[in-house]
Structures are given as C-alpha cells and as structure tokens.
Structure 1
Amino acid sequence: MRRFPYGRALVTGASSGIGEGFARRLAGEGVDLVLVARRGDRLAQLASELGSRHRVDVEVMKLDLTDEGDVAAAEERLAATERPVGLLVNNAGSSGSGYFADLPVDREVRTAVLGTLVPLRLSHACLPRMIGSGSGGIVNVSSLVAVLPKPRSATYAASKAFMSSMGESLAMEVARHGVHVTTVHTGLTRSEFHTVAGVSPDTLPSIKWLTPDQVAQAGLEAVAAGRPSVVPGRAYRIRLPLMRAMPRSVVRTVMRRVHKA
C-alpha cells in the first residue's frame, strides 16, 4: 500500500526548494504530479527527470499565481474531475528583507497575495470535490514565524500567520468528510528562498538547517495520518512550544535583538 494515499498531487512553487522537495518525495512514492511555478524551463526539466526515474505522469503548468488568469487556470485544474488532484501542496511564496516602509510596495503585495489569497483560492477550488469524494488532502507550507513578530520581514510573517490560522480552521471543518488539512511550520530550510529574498544565511541564527526533503517527508507523513500540524526537525519541535509560552514582551525583545530591529 502506498504510504501517501493520493493518486495525483498539485504542488505550487515546485521549481526549486521545498516545492521541489515535495515533488521528488511524492514521485518516489508513485504519485502522479501537477507542477506549478513561474519558471517553465525548470519545471520541464524536473518533470522529465521524475517521469523517467519514477514512471509517474507529470503535468507542467507554467503559471504566475499573482496573475488573475493564471490563478484561475490553477483553480480550474484543481476542480477538474478528469485526472483529479487528490493532494494540494500550497507552497508558492516570496519574501524580502528590509524595513517595511523602505521596501517596494508591489513586492510586499506579491508576498501577501501568494501567502494568503492564493492558498485560500486554491483550497476553495479543490475542497468541494474532495469533500464529495470523501478523501483528499491539503498541505500548507507555513513557518515558525507564523507565531512570532518578525521585523524586517513583516509581510511574510503576517502572511504565514494567516495561512496557519486558516489551515487549522479548515482541518477542523473537513476532517469529518475524510479530508485532511495539514500545516507545516518550517524552520530554516536550505533553498534559494533566502538568497532571492536578499537574506544571507550568515546573518541568520545558527540553528540546525533543514533540507527540503525533511520538510516534505514530515508534511506528507502528517497529512496522510490526518494530523493538523507538524514541525519538522526535533530542535524546532522543542522551540515552538517555548516560543508560544513566553510572554509576548519577551518574544518581542528576543526578536528585536535577533533581527537587529
């Protein structure tokens, strides 16, 4: 029996990093894929590799999910009854580093849209069909910063708080229908994400870094088991309850020092 009981998965932000990690892990389990990202050349290369290596069917959708027409195309694919998608991985995102007032507003809006409206719309597109069939799953790739203030990444942290709250609520709503929603609260994960955001890993706390495969494995095992949330990595699993238990004034002091705000 397949460990991850989904015949086909749609993964956003699949061209690199955590999204690519999910794609590779799912293909290794024999799950067919729909890969979504802006970089079509990378998607095509990944699709060719995974299809050849694992004998799975891989569709490529070159989409910019901040574009109205492109997000509508993703919604249509998720709602389709032909070759239905049994698992949605909401992973696409963007970020930037700097004081909010100094950053270009269009970049901040893009971060907010990808972290809030896109997972909302894609989840809404697939849930009615999943509920009707009595099976399916959604994985939301969030972050530990969902429960923290994060100066110099205010919009990113706020969007992850939205995603985590929505994911927990949806998990409660749809569990009785046999549909699982899992939110993955990641720590520092080695990928292009920090480089693109303009953040040097050398400036970040010296905590154990995760790999995309570790995040993907934890998320997929959790959604298959029906767990509403998961924190990859033992060190981060210990830290999250401590952060939640600390007085907010203490949290703000720590984060101010860490991020030199």
Structure 2
Amino acid sequence: MTTALITGATAGIGRSFARRLAAEGHDLVLVARTTERLTELAGILRERHGIEVEVLTADLAAEADRRRVAERLRDEAEPVDLLVNNAGFTQPEGFLAQDADQLRAQLDVNVTAVLELSHAALNSMLPRNRGAVINVSSVAGFFPGRGSTYTADKSWVTMFTEGLAQTTANSAVRVLVLCPGFTRTEFHDRAGIDMGGIPGPLYLDADRVVNDCLRDLREGRVLSVPSLPYKVITTLAGLLPRALVRRLATRVNARDN
C-alpha cells in the first residue's frame, strides 16, 4: 500500500486526484485550508474505498503551515510515495491593482510551496529510490498575461519541474509537470474571473486531466499536456517568435489591466 499527499485536495483537479488515487487503493494525506471540506471528503473516500485518509489543514501562504506539510513529507515512519503539488490560485486584478501582500500570498502558494514541498519529498524519496512528484502547472505558463503574476508563477513551476526531472534521472524517482488548459473546476469562479468568452471545446474535464497525467507518469514522461488542442497550442508557443506570442496573449487578455 502506498501513500499520496495532495495539496488543494478538496476541489477541482486536486479532488479528482484524490478520488482516482483512492480508487486505485492508495492511502491519502489530504491538504487544504478548510477542515470541514477535508473531513467530508476523507469520510467519503474511507467508506467507499476502505483506505486510510489523513487530514492536514494548512494554508500554504503561511510559512508555519508549509513547514508542517514539509515535516509530514519527511516522516520516515509513514513515508509518502507520491506528492501532488496541486494547490494554487490567481487574482482577478492586474499586477498594479494588487497590494504587495496579495502578490506575496499568491507567490507563496503557487511557487514557494511547490519548491519547499518538492524539496522535502525528494530528500525523502531519493534515499529510498522510490516515489514520484507531480507539480500542477498550466498551459497559461507558456504565455505572458494576467498581470504577469499567475502565468509567471506557472512558467516557473514548469521549468523548475523539468529541472528536477534531470536531477532524478538516474534514480527510480519520477518527476512530472502537469500543464492542463481550461478545466471545469471552481478555480475561475473563486478568482472572480468571467470565462464566458472561452469556447466550450477548449474546456477539459478534471477526471480526464488526472487520467492523462497518471498515464504519462507511468510511461515516464516529464511533461503532461492533456488533449490534442493544448498539445498543439503549447508546441506553437515554443516555435513562434516571442514578439508574436506576446501579441497573441495581449489579444486573449485584452480585458486585463
């Protein structure tokens, strides 16, 4: 029996990871800010799949809470075999409309937590020569936009994870970055972002995103981009001149400040 720790586990892609991994028989450590939602999900998964589920309430914008999650990842008595760094958020306002505390909180959840928890997990996994880390990024990280904060965060996550994969290449520990496109979750509603202009065919199902990701992990891939349209979009982003990529992103994000 293996154990997976999932951040941002109560909604969206994180919840889909929890359901899928529980169905496969993994014990879980679920991390999120809301104890009530964590407890509810844990109860459902225990009853449905007969697994052990640990609840860890934490706000990853807070240093002390990040430290507690990192300590759980370093616990050799109850080792974690899979880390899913899924927690993340964005703001509806542009860069200049936010104060420094808002920007720092977003950076800490989207970037600092990924760095610190990956560090804790890999320092535990590599001596055992077993385990995997999935960092959830976004197709948005291939393009500038949204005030340069969220997309910059996700660009960092993608590059960081690809670098980690080189560090673990000579071991049995696997590292993968998941880059989904628009996915039907609570993410945009929570951020107060109107997504009415996005064509329906570009939306992905969270369960499908998780299925594709876990398949890519098993096959030893480092980058997982679910669905053909987004594979094409991310490939073009790497081939087109950056000036053209910026112009295209400006059109898409014309509503941003």
CA offsets 1:179-237 (integer angstroms, 9 cap, x no match): 00000111001111101111112033554211111121122222222211110112111
- Map of 2:198 onto structure 1: 204
Question: Does the CA-based 8 Å contact 2:61-2:106 persist in structure 1?
Answer: no
Question: Does the CA-based 8 Å contact 2:58-2:66 persist in structure 1?
Answer: yes
TM-score, normalised on structure 2? 0.95
Question: Does the CA-based 8 Å contact 1:180-1:224 persist in structure 2?
Answer: no
Between stretches 126-135 and 203-212, larger displacement belongs to: 203-212
SS at match of 1:202: coil
CA offsets 1:40-86 (integer angstroms, 9 cap, x no match): 11110000001110111100001111112111110110000122100
Whether 1:134 and 2:123 are equivalent positions in the alignment is no
SS at match of 1:181: strand
- Measure, in 2, the Cα distance between the counterparts of 1:258 and 1:48: 41
- Measure, in 2, the Cα distance between the counterparts of 1:88 and 1:153: 29
Number of equivalent positions: 255
SS at match of 2:91: coil
Aligned amino acid, residue 254 of structure 1: L
Match of 1:94 among 89, 97, 104: 89
Provide closer, same or farther for how the CA distance between residues 105 and 203 of structure 1 changes in structure 2, counting only shifts above 3 A.
farther
**Kindly, what percent of the aligned residue pairs are identical?**
39
Unmatched tracts of structure 1, length 5 or more:
1-5
- Map of 2:20 onto structure 1: 25
Whether 1:80 and 2:80 are equivalent positions in the alignment is no
Match of 1:115 among 106, 110, 118: 110
- Map of 2:252 onto structure 1: 258
Unmatched tracts of structure 2, length 5 or more:
none
TM-score, normalised on structure 1? 0.94
- Map of 1:156 onto structure 2: 150
Whether 1:104 and 2:99 are equivalent positions in the alignment is yes
Question: Does the CA-based 8 Å contact 1:47-1:59 persist in structure 2?
Answer: yes
Whether 1:40 and 2:35 are equivalent positions in the alignment is yes
Between stretches 226-235 and 186-195, larger displacement belongs to: 226-235
Aligned pairs for 1:186-225 (under 5 A) are 186-204=180-198, 207-225=201-219
- Measure, in 2, the Cα distance between the counterparts of 1:212 and 1:121: 26
Q: Which runs of 4+ in 1 moved over 4 A?
A: none
